[in-house]
Chains A and B, each alone.
Chain A
Amino acid sequence: MIHEKPRPRVGPDSAPFWKGCREHRLMLPTCTACGKAHLPPGPVCPFCFADAIEWRQASGRGTISTWTAVHKAWFPAFAAEAPYNVIQVELDEGPRLTSNLLGGDVPKIGQRVEMVFDDVDAELTLHRFRVI
């Protein structure tokens, strides 16, 4: 089956992130100078401006910082699921990530969640979250 929803546009800065998802690991670009992780993946540390970026595996745990339920189907491929949720998760390592919450409950800001991996087709794995 072909995954017809929009796919991540994988570029040089973000490729290790999506490769990590494929391997069911959350990888974050992390600065070896100041120790902070950042998203979206960039070429330098946005905090201390160092070039020393290393991809490190992160916990995959975090807290829902905001959410929405999308009722309008801007993309035909999402129409059957509407309304569906979109969440932002503040990872324990600091950066925020946009994803979906599995399980059918209305997301709550402050809720603790952990990342799970969804192999949507032969090439692509997307991260999602579930309540801890």
Chain B
Amino acid sequence: MTVDAAIVGIGCSAFGRGLPDSQLGLAAFAFKEALDDAGLTREDVDGLSIHLGAPLGVDYDRFAEALGLDIRYVNQSWLHGRFVTNALQHAALAVSAGLADVVACVTAVSFTRERGFLGGPGDVEGNREEGGTHGEAPPYGLTAPAGGAAIAMQRYMHLYGATSAQLAAVPISIRQHALNNPRAIMQQPLTLEAHQTARMVVDPLRLFDCCLISDGAAIVLVTRADRARDLKQKPVRIAAMQGMRSGREEFIFAPRGLGINQQSGKRSFARERDLEIFAQGIARENVQGFYTYDAFSPLVLFALERFGYCGVGEAAAFVQGGRIGPGGALPVNTSGGLLSEAHVAGWNSICEMTRQLRGSAGASQIRDAAALQWGTAWGDSVILTRDA
């Protein structure tokens, strides 16, 4: 089966902290906007790919019931942000296989109301039998996802000599992007001094190395590429994709083999198997912007290394000098990502990639954007392209 899918509609709620709306209310707003954007009606949507289901988000059946849909294909993942690629890939596969005509990828989250899920006593996931999958070890006080990113970055710094001041280039550059985006929650410049003097959260992660805790919804509509050409917007093709990596050499918040949890500690340059995304028609040198799940600033470094934008241990140097900021050689998360726009589990970036490839990204526009990559520190990826 060939993947033959395109993004044809995007919609977002307001992004903010302490928004009064329910998660379902945020989702409904974004869904209407996405339908309008695509020139579709709700009757056209017969598939759902729910990114954040129970126990945090809205389940597929409640979403369909509340919005009056009649659905024949469903995919749903649980509360982790890590499944963004997965949710989009399921939508692409479903429309390609004829299981659905139009799939709505749904992410709606009220983190400010539900923050007990994030590393506290209400974190059912982090407190399960063998601890959480971000390295949580609750009896020893490592209880939040941030802790997993911290132990990975601490070892990375030890091995390669990277510093917190180098790491600061990630949130600073992404903040510079956010200043071009009126929807972004963070609208003040971030300086190196502010980064370095901000409170330590979990060493070496300081406040601005950790993403926003925010509320918002984003909807992405996916259909077959041939159908997409008859719709309102210029289609954005899902041109290449590769799946999530897992195994003893993998830890969600570390590069492959770094030596966290049961990883061997033997690292190597990105392997052919990890770069299959670039063997599907779009080579890495043709990617004009990189988008990633920046819940914590080290994840940006790890994703850049995984996809071979730089060598092992080189990412902290690679991100210096404005390379990933506005106008840089490889802009990263041009709407501000999770660090500065909003934590909509990465879907704010999928919407931004779509705007970029339509040429409607305003002040953030990458000139003549034709191919952009979404890739995470845990190895899954999609490349989106402007339809030929």
Question: Which chain B residues (112-132) contact chain A, with CB distance < 8 Å?
Answer: 118-121, 123, 127-131
- Hey, which chain A residues are within 8 Å of B127, CB to CB? 6, 9
- Hey, which chain B residues are within 8 Å of A117, CB to CB? none
Instruction: Tell me if B's interface is mostly helix, strand, loop or mixed.
Output: loop
A100 to B135 Cα, complex, angstroms: 14
- Hey, which chain A residues are within 8 Å of B326, CB to CB? none
Q: Which of A38, A88, A98, A109 has the most CB of B within 10 A?
A: A98
Tell me if B70 is interfacial: C-beta within 8 Å of chain A. Answer: no
- Hey, which chain B residues are within 8 Å of A100, CB to CB? 140-141
A85-102, CB under 8 A of B: which get 1 and which 0? 010101000011011100
A20-60, CB under 8 A of B: which get 1 and which 0? 00000000000000000011100000100000000000000
A109 to B1 Cα, complex, angstroms: 48
- Hey, which chain B residues are within 8 Å of A5, CB to CB? 138-139, 141
Q: How far, in Å, is B252 (CB) from chain A's closest CB?
A: 15
Tell me if A104 is interfacial: C-beta within 8 Å of chain B. Answer: no
- Assess whether A70 is in contact with B142, with CB atoms less than 8 Å apart: yes
Count of A residues near B, CB < 8 Å? 37
Partner of B203, one of A8, A14, A68: A68
Tell me if B25 is interfacial: C-beta within 8 Å of chain A. Answer: no
A69 to B265 Cα, complex, angstroms: 22
Q: Which residue of A lies closest to B138 (CB)?
A: A6
- Assess whether B262 is in contact with A38, with CB atoms less than 8 Å apart: yes
- Hey, which chain B residues are within 8 Å of A96, CB to CB? 260-262
- Assess whether A70 is in contact with B141, with CB atoms less than 8 Å apart: yes
Tell me if B6 is interfacial: C-beta within 8 Å of chain A. Answer: no
Interface band, chain B? 35 or more
- Assess whether A95 is in contact with B154, with CB atoms less than 8 Å apart: no
- Assess whether A74 is in contact with B144, with CB atoms less than 8 Å apart: yes
Tell me if B81 is interfacial: C-beta within 8 Å of chain A. Answer: no
A66 to B135 Cα, complex, angstroms: 12
- Assess whether A88 is in contact with B199, with CB atoms less than 8 Å apart: no
Q: Which residue of A lies closest to B121 (CB)?
A: A75
- Assess whether B151 is in contact with A86, with CB atoms less than 8 Å apart: yes
- Assess whether B140 is in contact with A99, with CB atoms less than 8 Å apart: yes
- Assess whether A68 is in contact with B202, with CB atoms less than 8 Å apart: yes
- Assess whether B141 is in contact with A9, with CB atoms less than 8 Å apart: no
Q: Provide 22 A-B residue pairs closer than 8 Å at the C-beta atoms, listed in order of the A residue.
A: A8-B139, A11-B129, A38-B262, A65-B260, A66-B155, A66-B158, A67-B154, A68-B142, A68-B204, A70-B142, A70-B203, A71-B200, A74-B123, A74-B143, A75-B120, A86-B147, A86-B151, A88-B261, A90-B259, A98-B131, A99-B140, A109-B154
Closest A-B pairs by Cβ, 7 of them = A6-B138, A98-B137, A74-B119, A66-B155, A69-B203, A9-B129, A68-B150
